[in-house]
Amino acid sequence: MTPEVLQTGLLVFALGIGMVFAVLFVIFVALKIMGFVAVSITKKAKPAPAPAVAAAPVPVAAAPAPASNDSEIAAVISAAIAAYCAGEPGANPSRLKVRSIRRATKWDGSK
């Protein structure tokens, strides 16, 4: 192998690797710019928040009866998840549907 062939091979290798990293850097910068634009658009388009309504205090029962009805438990879990997701942007709590509820077992496998 002559030194000219080796030198040409190394030059092609260096140009190829340099071109790949240059294109990756350009893609990275373009994605960062698009991210900043998307954030600025969503901040501008965000409507004014509705005034917070103070929740009336709910009287607490002394000892709640154990809920034996699975539909009641599913309704409570669904309401809790919907209340949690209501503050998230893009969340749609009305599409939430609890399909099944299972009691989790302890680490040792017992209930």
Residues 12-65 have pLDDT tens digits of 999 999 999 999 999 999 999 999 998 888 887 666 666 666 666 666 665 555
Give the pair of three-digit tokens for residue 82.
């919907």
pLDDT recorded at residue 48: 61
Listed in sequence order, the DSSP H helices in the chain are 3-45, 70-85
Q: Are 111 and 105 in contact (CB under 8 A)?
A: yes
- List the one residue out of 55, 79, 76 whose CA is nearest residue 66: 76
CA distance 37 to 41: 6
Percent of the chain with pLDDT over 90: 30
Note if the pTM is more than 0.95: no
Residue 97's domain spans which residues? 68-102
Is 54 within a domain? Answer: no
Segment 80-100 mean pLDDT: 75
Residue 109 has pLDDT above 70, yes or no: no
The phi, psi pair for 49, rounded to 5°, reads -70, 145
The verdict on residue 59 lying in a domain is no
Whether residue 60 lies inside any domain: the answer is no
Residues 4 and 42 in one domain: yes
